[in-house]
Structure 1
Amino acid sequence: MRIVVAGGTGTVGRHTVQAAHDAGHEVVVLSRASGADVQTGSGLDAALDRADAVIDVTNIMSLSAKRARAFFENGTRHLLAAEERAGVGHHVALSIVGIDDIDASYYAGKLAQERAVSAGTVPFTIARVSQFHEFAGQLLSGTRGPFALIPRAPVRPVAAREVGAHLVRVAEQGPQGRATDLVGPRDEDLAELARRQLAFDGIRRRVVEIRLPGAYGRGLASGSLRGGADAEHARIDFDQWLHSEDHVRR
């Protein structure tokens, strides 16, 4: 198969590209550095030429619902239009488990993306996964000083490497509307993950767990981000990930 990975240089994208290569597929990495921009539509027609499937793992780090919706709706619209022109037979969109009742902040953008994909004319699969092991580190990187404020969030984190392999398998299986959810092997608390990562990296900072206000905070604290009982479970737990080459000490 010829698989185009939109956002192929990011946290999940690089693992998706590697998994596709390992499975023997022809891979096109779609990014601004390669001359293609999903936000403007520039370069998409050339990048999608002869593509069998597109895996969209583009992302934005924003807690603004307005900004997140605009990013995901705009990028999805341009991708689907180019896919339709190129005759692409399968669009795979990465999303997040348990966000149905959290139409706020960043998750509002992912829900808008799912609606746009479902309303399009290109056959699709929405692949929901749980939060990544990398998420705790991303939050820690966004804070400074002796304290790290981490939101209350029961999660079942998964390694981005396993997400990448999962997305390639989904692409190989053909359009199915909604793939089986993928979650990590263990229940965890986000603040505790941050504490363990800091200890592993030898950094002395105090993690303070906070309850965020509003629909976003309630959603995080609800436990819904752990996914359902019928989800597929990945194998790499957080401590194994810390000791792997995928974790870069801060």
Structure 2
Amino acid sequence: MKIVVIGGTGLIGGKVVGKLNERGHEAVPAAPGTGVDTLTGEGLAAALAGAQVVVDVANSPSFEASAVLDFFTTSTRNLLAAEEAAGVGHHVALSIVGLENLPDNGYFRAKAAQEQLIKKGPVPCSIVRATQFFEFVKGIADTATDGDTVRLPHVLFQPMAADDVAEAVSRTAAEAPLKGTVEVAGPQLFRFDELVADALRAWHDPRTVVPDPHARYFGSELAERTLVPDEGRAHLAGTRFEDWLRRSS
């Protein structure tokens, strides 16, 4: 099958392209750098010609609330219209576990709006909701740092490796449309602050992690299970955090 991967030059997109090609598909990366702009529609018709499946793993260049909402709604409308015109039969999108738990978070609101457009759109869809990535742990620590102290809530956290996210997306793209949502998560439950502390120690980072129930995650306070799937609901990935951490160190 010809499968066009929107955002196919990014962290997840590049891995998805590689995995689909390994499965024998014709995976085509599409991004501004390849001449495809979903915000303006530039290059979409040409890129989607002959495609059976489109995978959207693109991310907004800005996390500001209005900008990120405009990115996901405008690009999704353009993409779905181009897919319908091209006769694409399956739209796959990457989203986030727990979207409905953080309505005050601008990024999560934008992804929720994207999901609604896809579900109501003209192309049969599959939405893959993933938990946070191991690769984001350092960035999370950096945003929560004040001096030499990292303040994070002592809530549940179930992140996964980017490779496993890409595997879930690739597998879904190669199958029939779910016409719904599937959730994927890491194989282990952690406490948010404890996992980040373990990572910083492994990286010989001198910062101290302090549990703080009011510490915000990208502007939002977290409840106990905000970022994790309901028990037994998600498909669990195989890569354990300590193994990924050993390789990254």
- SS of 1:41's partner is coil
Q: 1:164 to 1:139 in 2, by over 3 A?
A: same
CA deviation digits over 1:38-86, x for unaligned, max 9?
Answer: 1211111111111111111111365543332211111111111111111
2:238 aligns to what?
235
Say whether the 8 Å CA contact 2:127–2:182 is kept in structure 1. Answer: no
1:53 aligns to what?
53
Q: Distance in 1 between matches of 2:151 and 2:34?
A: 37
Shift of 1:207: 2.3
- SS of 2:126's partner is strand
Structure 2 runs not aligned, ≥5 long: none
CA deviation digits over 1:120-150, x for unaligned, max 9?
Answer: 1111111111111122122234457423344
Q: Distance in 1 between matches of 2:7 and 2:217?
A: 30
Q: Distance in 1 between matches of 2:82 and 2:43?
A: 10
Q: 1:215 to 1:191 in 2, by over 3 A?
A: closer
Alignment of 1:200-211 (within 5 A): 200-210=202-212, 211=214
Q: Distance in 2 between matches of 1:197 and 1:180?
A: 28
Say whether the 8 Å CA contact 2:55–2:91 is kept in structure 1. Answer: yes
Say whether the 8 Å CA contact 1:152–1:221 is kept in structure 2. Answer: no
1:223 aligns to what?
225
Q: Distance in 1 between matches of 2:140 and 2:132?
A: 12
Q: 1:101 to 1:145 in 2, by over 3 A?
A: closer
Percent identity, please.
38
Shift of 1:223: 0.9
1:127 aligns to what?
128
Shift of 1:221: 2.7
Alignment of 1:171-182 (within 5 A): 171-182=173-184
2:96 aligns to what?
96
Q: Distance in 2 between matches of 1:188 and 1:67?
A: 32
Please give the TM-score of this superposition, normalised by the length of structure 1.
0.89
Q: CA RMSD in A?
A: 2.2
1:108 aligns to what?
109
Q: 1:235 to 1:71 in 2, by over 3 A?
A: same
- SS of 1:181's partner is strand
Partner residue of 1:162 out of 152, 161, 164? 164
- SS of 2:54's partner is strand
Shift of 1:188: 1.3
2:85 aligns to what?
85
Say whether the 8 Å CA contact 1:170–1:179 is kept in structure 2. Answer: no
1:136 aligns to what?
137
Shift of 1:215: 11
Q: Distance in 2 between matches of 1:63 and 1:92?
A: 22
Shift of 1:177: 1.8
- The count of aligned residue pairs is 245
Shift of 1:8: 1.4
Q: Indicate the larger mover: 68-77 or 57-66.
A: 57-66
Q: Distance in 1 between matches of 2:233 and 2:146?
A: 39
CA deviation digits over 1:139-186, x for unaligned, max 9?
Answer: 234457423344554211111101111111111112112243111101
Q: Distance in 1 between matches of 2:17 and 2:246?
A: 22
Q: Indicate the larger mover: 202-211 or 107-116.
A: 202-211
